[in-house]
Structure 1
Amino acid sequence: MDVTTGFFYLFSLALLFAAFRVITARNPVHAVLYLMLAFSQASAIWLILQAEFLAITLVLVYLGAVMVLFLFVVMMINLNMDGLRQGFWKHFPLAAVVGVVIALEMAYVLLGGFRVSTPVAAAPGTVAVSNTQALGYLLYTQYLYPLEIAAVILVVAMIAAIALTLRRRKDTKAIDPSEQIRVRASDRLSVVKVAATRPAPAAAPAAPVETKA
């Protein structure tokens, strides 16, 4: 067994252990942490298989963004685990069937072996291109329009999410800049003519005070 194979088995065992702990951990925060460990081990396996782009994407997108967001959400909402465990045995038969089917499929793939193609040697006088460079070249040449369409869809989805969650507060003191630009002096100021001098109003006579003898 060479060093690469040893690391492959090491990362695989850590990945299986982390995946098992994800579904058996009682604390949701611990489950999310184990899921992050599983993603990191999968990224290491992809590095061994020379899929650098997928490995870096998994680390940046899932570990760096999605899973950290999940961790913050789980820690902030304070889940009630007693309510989540009420329907466990009700859905256990279906979950067991799905688990058995997945286990049989994985056993079939492992026992059948993997078809590893022989890497094609670069022609004399040409520069060897990595898979990341080849993937980037395909994305921005052959699949440029689908990539731009996907980017536009993601931007529209982000704007729609912001618009749906945005609520205008009634107690805010913010002023619309367009209203400030269109304002006129006559709308804000009114001139009232007042006489220079006015006679003082006459004092009302005091009421007589009755006294009792």
Structure 2
Amino acid sequence: MFTTILFYILALVLVVAAFRVITAKSPVTAVLHLILAFVNASFIWMILGAEFLALLLVLVYVGAVMVLFLFVVMMLDVKMEELRAGIKTYLPLGLTVGLIMVVEMSLVLSLSWGDVGPAADLGNNYNNARTLGEQLYTQYAFAVEVGAVLLLVGMVAAIALTLRRRRDVKYNDPGAALRVRAKDRVRLLDVPAQEAFNAKSGEQS
């Protein structure tokens, strides 16, 4: 009974936090509510017995990704007027996509709700981390490799976009610096001597 009540409380907080992520006016507020949503999702997974996934969600998403997003959003000069300028243009498309997702989730839940039976007795020596690893690297090995390639492509693309050639920065060519000769580095000029001008007397000395 206590587990059921706790599950519904966490689910309610998760839904409210997720709703605030898409309705908050401030990006910082949206990121903070997204962190709250991830934490509540990890608590629900902990109740369901998936301890490894719960800790992974907290460590990876809350501890690294969301903190990085928060710092990026706080350091960027986000102008809310520019963000709201095109919301009316993309609002119908966004509502259509959201409606399709809600209908699909409703159909899946309605069809699978009656087929859910009692939880299986897995025993005291059951290790969900080991079971997850065996499934990922045996039955779903190809999917894991495809996901790894996609993440690698995304990382390379992010580095390429960050390290684009800027025109306002001076670049040094190490190869050209090694090939330079002594006469290219130092140039002696024969400057003729000039006579000093005496400002008081108006004469040259």
TM-score range, shorter chain: 0.5 to 0.7
Counterpart code for 1:18: A
Aligned-pair Cα RMSD in Å: 3.6
Cα drift, residue 129 of structure 1:
2.0
Indicate the structure (1 or 2) with the bigger Cα radius of gyration.
Answer: 1
Q: Find the aligned partners of 1:16 and 1:85 in 2 and give their Cα distance.
A: 24
Aligned to 1:94: 93
Q: Find the aligned partners of 2:145 and 2:23 in 1 and give their Cα distance.
A: 41
How many residues were matched structurally?
178
SS of the residue corresponding to residue 116 of structure 1 reads: coil
Matched, 1:11 2:10: yes
Aligned to 1:116: 116
Counterpart code for 2:32: L
Cα drift, residue 104 of structure 1:
2.6
Aligned to 1:77: 76
Q: Provide structure 1 residue ranges, at least 5 long, that are not aligned to the other structure.
A: 180-186, 189-213
Counterpart code for 1:87: G
The structure richer in helix per residue is 2
CA deviation string 1:5-39 (max 9, x = no partner): 11111011101111111111111110111111111
Q: TM-score, normalised by structure 2?
A: 0.66
**TM-aligned CA distance change 1:25 to 1:132, over 3 Å:** same
Identity, in percent, stands at 51
CA deviation string 1:60-87 (max 9, x = no partner): 1111111111111111112100011111
SS of the residue corresponding to residue 49 of structure 2 reads: coil
Cα drift, residue 128 of structure 1:
2.7
Aligned to 1:31: 30
Q: TM-score, normalised by structure 1?
A: 0.64
**TM-aligned CA distance change 1:40 to 1:160, over 3 Å:** same
CA deviation string 1:99-130 (max 9, x = no partner): 2222333333444426435555469xxx7322
